[in-house]
Structure 1
Amino acid sequence: MNAAHVPAMDGAHATRSLLGVDFHALPAGRAIDILDAHVRHRVPIKVAFANAHTLNTARVNPRYREVLQRFAVFNDGVGVDLASWLRFGERFPDNLNGTDFVPAYLERTLLPLRIFMLGTRPEVIGRAFAAARRRFPRHEWVGCRDGYFSRDEEDELLATLRAERIDLLLVGMGNPLQELWIDRCAAASRATACIGVGALLDFLAGEVGRAPAWVRRARLEWAWRLLLEPRRLWRRYLVGNATFLWHAWRERR
């Protein structure tokens, strides 16, 4: 490992703290370059994407908030963008949500990567893995495992990851579980970059559909998902977003 060759995560861009969580305010290209440098020089990095729901969880869960301090945290969604504007008078340079950023990284990285995919349900993970191999064929897709395993099975999984010398470990367990697992197991896995990808695996598998491009450009994908799954998501998006913005507004004072 040679950390001296890895550019600083913030560089000329500020680190912004929202509700006790530090974000790196980076354009997507800069974030991709830095992630590439970590992988090239095998300097471990843990990446999380935090949205309003993430920060609501961290606000009431001190352990989770403390764990996120050991991650490079990128901004996900319009909620944290508004909170940045309220607190600092400026929005983030780009929306670095994991569903878009991770595929962009896999397309634009200069490196052929050894990748392992971990998470989601047993009947979904295989479809997600096959879809990723078709979409990004220049990378070596080493293996996959669903997110339902015992501690004994976890030891075997970590041994496999160590033996395979993984460049990129994509973990889709939802938060806070995925970040807690990465924080506990990243060192034992010896994967260079561990990224909590949330629902990306479900999207890749076709289990969940993306909003049309114009909806995503308008930053309204949350509303699209709410229309599709109102009973499951109304509390997160309506109550949760209002709660988050209230606390973000209070923080500026």
Structure 2
Amino acid sequence: MRNLGKKNIIGILIDAVDYEAALDFIFRAAQEKKGTTISALAVHGVMTGVLDSEHKFRLNHFDLLVPDGQPVRWVLNLLYRAQLPDRVYGPNLTLKVCERAAAEGKSVYFYGSTPEILIALKQSLDEKFPGIKIAGAEPSKFRRLKPEEKSELAARIISSGASITLVGLGCPRQEAFAYEFREVLSMPILAVGAAFPFIAGLIPQAPAWMQDRGLEWLFRLTSEPRRLWRRYIYLNPAYVFLVLLQMLHLSRFTTSGVAPATETLYG
């Protein structure tokens, strides 16, 4: 198990952890019924915080930010000698959480995505982990929630008996969701990005060789060019440039951010 704590990558505090350390953290929080926030961040997730001071504040108040992308892991290893053998990939982390939850008799709740994806997700998990306890699965409303809807959603999750909530709303909405629900849900809240459709088998994942070489972005760009071209064409070079500034000590990146003035209540 490897956990070297939080490390500043261009202003975002990423935890230098492996899968084992992340799982240990999640299940300790579940056992203690402690409201905690976890997210798996690749380059896009890091850059959402770099470009938005309020979102930087949210991310840097998360309990655990794991290195989802290879370029994030590489920077941890390069700048901080973390010696992480692998990234902590959101879909794989989700599978490992579900596997351990099934083994320990803990239940999970899924929030986000569409009804079709959630149905396929549940079927996939039932096949992979017989006996898994899925306390509930609720699709996104794809809009802002009213304050009373937030309270009602929290009440549904709590009354379901879930030990862990997994959120798939896309970055940065899912991180805002986790941050805003952290005090009303006494359990770990994991923001896991595209894990739901990937595990459901409805969106193809990059081949292992592309993932290992940090080329997953290219696979996803060619799969969904209209939706993702701005993310990768602009943000990837910006990330590399800012990391170089940090490596060469040409710029210091503050981690403070600005406390959000209001809740987004995106659901």
TM-score range, shorter chain: 0.7 to 0.9
2:37 match: secondary structure: strand
Asked if residue 75 in structure 1 is aligned to residue 63 in structure 2, the reply is: no
State whether residues 73 and 86 of structure 2, in contact with CA within 8 Å, keep that contact through their aligned partners in structure 1: no
Give the structure 1 partner of residue 113 of structure 2. 120
Give the structure 2 partner of residue 56 of structure 1. 47
Post-superposition CA distance 1:116-153 (Å, at most 9, x none)? 10001233222223322332233210111111164244
Give the structure 2 partner of residue 178 of structure 1. 174
Aligned in 2, Cα 1:17/1:93: closer, same or farther, shift over 3 Å?
A: farther
Question: Distance between the aligned counterparts of 1:205 and 1:90, measured in 2?
Answer: 33
Give the structure 1 partner of residue 123 of structure 2. 130
Which stretch shifts more, 222-231 or 67-76?
Answer: 222-231
Asked if residue 35 in structure 1 is aligned to residue 26 in structure 2, the reply is: yes
Post-superposition CA distance 1:25-77 (Å, at most 9, x none)? 11212222222222222233210111111121111111111111221100011
Question: Per-residue deviation at 1:242?
Answer: 0.7
After TM superposition, which residue ranges in structure 1, 4 or more long, deviate above 4 angstroms?
A: none
Structure 2 counterpart of 1:173, one-letter code: L
Which stretch shifts more, 20-29 or 223-232?
Answer: 223-232
Question: Distance between the aligned counterparts of 2:197 and 2:23, measured in 1?
Answer: 23
Question: Per-residue deviation at 1:227?
Answer: 2.1
1:188 match: secondary structure: coil
Give the structure 1 partner of residue 241 of structure 2. 246
Give the structure 2 partner of residue 3 of structure 1. none
Give the structure 2 partner of residue 215 of structure 1. 210
Identity across aligned pairs (percent)? 24
Q: Superposition pairs for residues 156-167 of structure 1, below 5 Å?
A: 156-167=152-163
Give the structure 2 partner of residue 92 of structure 1. 84
Asked if residue 25 in structure 1 is aligned to residue 16 in structure 2, the reply is: yes
Asked if residue 199 in structure 1 is aligned to residue 198 in structure 2, the reply is: no
State whether residues 107 and 132 of structure 2, in contact with CA within 8 Å, keep that contact through their aligned partners in structure 1: yes
Question: Distance between the aligned counterparts of 1:168 and 1:62, measured in 2?
Answer: 28
State whether residues 35 and 185 of structure 2, in contact with CA within 8 Å, keep that contact through their aligned partners in structure 1: no
State whether residues 162 and 188 of structure 1, in contact with CA within 8 Å, keep that contact through their aligned partners in structure 2: no
Q: Is there any run of 5+ residues in structure 2 with no aligned partner, and where?
A: 250-267
Asked if residue 225 in structure 1 is aligned to residue 220 in structure 2, the reply is: yes
2:184 match: secondary structure: helix
Structure 2 counterpart of 1:34, one-letter code: F
